[in-house]
Amino acid sequence: MIEFQSIRSAELNQFLEVFQARSTFQLDSVKSLRDALELKTTIYNDLKTKLKALKKMTDDFSQTGSLSAFGAKTVSVSDESILRISAGGGSSALSHSIHVDQLARAHSVLSDRYTQTGTELSAAHAGTKNFSITVDGTQYDVSVVINSGDDNQTVLKSVVDAINAVDDIEAVGSSINDTDTTTKLSITSEETGTKNKMTFTDTDGLLASLGVTNTSAATDTAGGYIYQDSGGSELDAKLTVDGINIVRSSNTLTDVVAGATLELLGAQEATDPDVSVSIAVDTEAITAKVQEFLDAFNDAHGYITAKVNVDPTTYARGDLAGDSPYVNLWQNLRSSMANSVPSSSSEVFSALSQIGITSGATGNFSITNTSNFDDALNENLDAVEALFNASDGIAVRLEELLDNYTDVSGIIDSSKNSVTDRVDLLDNKIDRLERLQAMEEKRLIEQYGAIQEATILNQSILQMVNSLYSGF
């Protein structure tokens, strides 16, 4: 028998195409439907990406106070060697005159000077010595072991290590070689200000012997304090702001100018001029931020518009045309931007058009009147902000709308899951149809082979008959 299973001549292909036309059409139809659904999944993914980008912007614009997107400020300081200032949301646009009289300092003490190689400290204090350091009401107990015969540098290093080994202690010990041959012990509070000054309980007399607890200022040879509170806020920052005396424990002040942080860098003489500080609305930064918001909106709105609309000329339908959740999204996106903000109706502005932001025929929004927009920012920033972050503001409305679509198990994820389920069913159907088509192809090839064998046999008989006739 002739094997036709592996024969794929042009004639055989034509034979198969004729008799498999119906099954091929059915298989191609199912594949086309599957491909269309997979394209829809891609559309859902792209839409979700664009909506999440817009939602990130609405999150920013719905914030209030120091987190507000309208909080950008410009700051100028006449002498940045004396102080720096940073301003965020909530700070007012204003000017100040500041004079820094004293920087905040950390309480710091030194021991007497000792020869590094001497052994008088270990000779006098061998054994375990205890003392405590109290900072801001918390007592930290220190225990140090001094070995007989240790040199002075080793003894002071042992004291340093014992201090620094105490958990969470708010003081730092260090040994300082002030010359090539001598050394000192230093103990310093970790934080500046009078409230963080240290007090010592010298249980075994070690600190007094070292000169650490001397009540006088340290000298090159004698221990004492470097910076000390003597009852006049000597460890605190002192400054005047517009003539008002200010005393703080830190050189970083967050509660003096509303919404601004002052960082004190240097002290001034009494006769030095005040430092002029000005804080103003950063209209350039805010404009850029608003434009970023509009770009994100236009990108999302433009995409969904193309997917739900029907071309009025060709009647070509978008991939999501007639899909009510997405038609609703398209309509609500625009209305959330275009509708007025009722809670602002009694204020200066109640709609974007009043601050120079309008939409064109395509539904895209832009700053079409930059003069109006700049004036609104400079003269009524709070009212502009309220358009977006009021309880019914534009950003808040959009945020609530987008949550329904972008949340896990939201509308888009539900749509994707539904499509995925349908694709799985179609994949199973395609597998089944392909198996049936392969079985049909095998059967047709066998039939084709049988026809070919019969044809060859008939031709042989015909040749035999012709040969017999030709003999008569």
Q: Which two tokens stand for residue 187?
A: 């103990």
Nearest to 235 by CA among 194, 195, 198, 199: 194
Tell me the H-state helices in 263-369.
283-308, 324-338
Mean pLDDT estimate for the chain:
89
For the CA atoms of 397, 400, 405, 411, the dihedral, rounded to the nearest 10 degrees, stands at: -120
Place of tokens 């040879």: 221
The answer to whether 374 touches 368, Cβ cutoff 8 Å, is no
Q: Return all residues near 87 (Cβ < 8 A) that are at least 6 apart.
A: 73, 75, 257, 259, 260, 261, 279
User: pLDDT category, 66, cuts 50, 70, 90?
Assistant: confident
Q: Distance (Å, rounded) from C-alpha 279 to C-alpha 261?
A: 12
- Is residue 116's pLDDT more than 80? yes
- Is residue 6's pLDDT more than 60? no
- Is residue 129's pLDDT more than 70? yes
Percent of the chain with pLDDT over 90: 64
Query: CA 191, 196, 199 angle in degrees (round to 5)?
Result: 125
Q: Distance (Å, rounded) from C-alpha 217 to C-alpha 428?
A: 90
- Which pLDDT value is given to residue 16? 59
Q: How far, CA to CA in Å, does 170 sit from each of 74, 141, 173, 306, 436?
A: 37, 12, 10, 63, 81
Q: Exposed e or buried b for every residue in 234-256, given b needs 16+ CB within 10 A?
A: bbbbbbebeeeebebbbbebeeb
Neighbours of 257 (CB within 10 A): 20
Mean pLDDT of 275-302: 94
Interval 74-101: pLDDT, tens: 899 999 999 999 886 655 668 899 999 9
Q: How far, CA to CA in Å, does 361 sit from each of 28, 106, 302, 364?
A: 41, 65, 12, 8
Look up the pTM and report it: 0.65
Q: Which two tokens stand for residue 222?
A: 């004698």
Nearest to 109 by CA among 181, 208, 203, 248: 208
Residue bearing the bigger pLDDT, 212 or 458: 212
